[in-house]
Chains A and B, each alone.
Chain A
């Protein structure tokens, strides 16, 4: 088993770019795909990135995902921040025993 560690909170101004990290505690981050989910207050999570860097239909290209083997981390980058991007973001990966390993979540404030 492994853990995924995210910063508790990040904040940035509208129009700027923010990156949220997700660090895997053991095992190779690149061995298993990473998903990113957005959860607005009072709503269910929705997918913004899957398979490390793919965007579902309807998710703007301001959202991008990447994986870095050297830091053993995945990252979600949101450019051209909008107030509507304010939400909690969760990363998720898996291993053979556990299909759903989630990070602790990052609260994004756009101010």
Chain B
């Protein structure tokens, strides 16, 4: 069974850098093709894909947020970290960690973590 769990601050101030950690179990970055990503959802709004990191350390970023995002992984700790700089109140959202299966051919994200709500406010 695959599980993912997000952790990090629930409140950040404007201009600060947000760092979120995703700890997962049930799969490994040692498996060719697997990836882990981040998706966010402002309260009452739509989903927005942010970043993705593959087993071979290939990284993809949302074109609109690329300059603010950094994603990294620790294969041994089964961990993925997302950093987002220069946080703004519009970045208030629930941030989800997601698994992309090794044999996926459709950019399917399954399963999702429980999500962590991050509020940006002074």
Contact = CB atoms under 8 A, between A and B. Distances in A.
Interface of A: 1, 32-33, 35, 37, 44-47, 50-51, 56, 90, 92-94, 97-105
B20 to A, nearest CB: 15
29 contacts: A33-B107, A35-B106, A44-B96, A44-B112, A44-B115, A45-B112, A46-B110, A46-B112, A47-B109, A47-B111, A90-B46, A92-B107, A92-B109, A94-B106, A97-B63, A98-B62, A99-B52, A99-B60, A99-B100, A99-B107, A100-B37, A100-B39, A100-B47, A100-B49, A102-B47, A102-B49, A103-B46, A104-B46, A105-B47
B10 interface: no
B107 A51 contact: no
Given A98-B62, A99-B37, A100-B39, A51 B49 contact: no
Interface size on B, as a range, is 20 to 34
